[in-house]
Amino acid sequence: MIKDSLVYKAFEVAAERYVAVGVDVNKALEEMKQISLSLHCWQADDVSGFENQGGSLTGGIQVTGNYPGRARSIDELRDDVLKAKSFIPGKHRLNLHEIYGDFQGKKVDRDEVEPQHFESWMQWAKENDFKLDFNSTSFSHPKSGDLTLANPDDRIRNFWIEHTKRCRRISEEMGKFQGDPCMMNLWIHDGSKEVPASRIKYRRILEQSLDEIFATEYKNMKDCIEAKLFGIGLESYTVGSYDFYLGYGAKKNKIVTLDTGHFHLTESIADKVSSLLLFTLEIMLHVSRPVRWDSDHVVILSDDLLDLAREIIRCDALDRVHIGLDYFDATINRIGAYVIGSRATQKAFMQALLEPVGLLRQYEDEGKYFERLALQEELKSLPWSAVWDMFCLQNDVPVGEAYIREIERYEQAVTSKRV
Q: How many CA atoms lie within 13 A of 378 on its CB side?
A: 12
Phi/psi at 286 (5° precision): -115, 110
Q: Is the pLDDT of residue 61 over 80?
A: no
Q: Is the pLDDT of residue 52 over 80?
A: no
Q: Is the pLDDT of residue 290 over 70?
A: yes
Examine the residue annotation and report whether 109 is marked as an active-site residue of this protein. Answer: no
Active-site annotation holder among 262, 272, 297, 322: 262
pLDDT score at 301: 98
135: helix, strand or coil:
strand
pLDDT score at 176: 98
Examine the residue annotation and report whether 228 is marked as an active-site residue of this protein. Answer: yes
In the chain, % of residues over pLDDT 90: 92
CA distance 78 to 130: 12
Q: What is the rounded average pLDDT of the residues 354-375? A: 97
212: helix, strand or coil:
helix
Residues 298-325 have pLDDT tens digits of: 999 999 999 999 999 999 999 999 999 9
Active-site annotation holder among 46, 190, 226, 355: 226
Which alpha helices (DSSP H) does 332-401 contain, by range? 334-353, 357-365, 369-379, 384-394
Q: What is the rounded average pLDDT of the residues 360-382? A: 97
CB 202 within 8 A of CB 150: yes
Q: Which domains does the chain have, with CATH numbers?
A: 35-355 (3.20.20.150)
CB 138 within 8 A of CB 188: yes
pLDDT score at 314: 97
pTM: 0.95
CA distance 198 to 90: 48
Q: Is the pLDDT of residue 54 over 60?
A: no
Examine the residue annotation and report whether 187 is marked as an active-site residue of this protein. Answer: yes
Active-site annotation holder among 187, 254, 329, 347: 187
Q: How many CA atoms lie within 13 A of 360 on its CB side?
A: 15
Examine the residue annotation and report whether 262 is marked as an active-site residue of this protein. Answer: yes
Active-site annotation holder among 228, 272, 297, 347: 228
Amino acid at 193: K
Exposed, middle or buried by CB within 10 Å (0-12, 13-18, 19+), for 417?
Answer: exposed
Residues 178-218 have pLDDT tens digits of: 999 999 999 999 999 999 999 999 999 999 999 999 999 99
Q: Is the pLDDT of residue 1 over 70?
A: no
CA distance 217 to 223: 10
Examine the residue annotation and report whether 296 is marked as an active-site residue of this protein. Answer: yes
Q: What is the distance, to the nearest Å, from the Cα of residue 414 to the centroid of all Cα atoms in its chain? A: 26
Residues 115-167 have pLDDT tens digits of: 999 999 999 999 999 999 999 999 999 999 999 999 999 999 999 999 999 99
pLDDT score at 63: 80
Query: Which residue in 325, 202, 329, 339 sits closest to 260, CA to CA?
Result: 325
pLDDT score at 51: 87
Examine the residue annotation and report whether 226 is marked as an active-site residue of this protein. Answer: yes
Average pLDDT across the chain, whole number: 95
Active-site annotation holder among 51, 296, 389, 411: 296
Examine the residue annotation and report whether 129 is marked as an active-site residue of this protein. Answer: no
65 pLDDT band, cuts 50/70/90, is confident
Residues 375-415 have pLDDT tens digits of: 999 999 999 999 999 999 999 999 999 999 999 999 999 99
Q: How far is CA 400 from CA 128, 129, 405, in A?
A: 24, 24, 11
331: helix, strand or coil:
coil
Q: Is the pLDDT of residue 249 over 80?
A: yes
Amino acid at 355: E
CB 352 within 8 A of CB 312: yes
Examine the residue annotation and report whether 190 is marked as an active-site residue of this protein. Answer: no
Looking at the DSSP assignment, which residues form a beta bridge with residue 120?
A: none
Examine the residue annotation and report whether 40 is marked as an active-site residue of this protein. Answer: no
pLDDT score at 10: 97
Q: Is the pLDDT of residue 60 over 70?
A: no
In the chain, % of residues over pLDDT 70: 98
pLDDT score at 415: 95
Phi/psi at 191 (5° precision): 180, -165
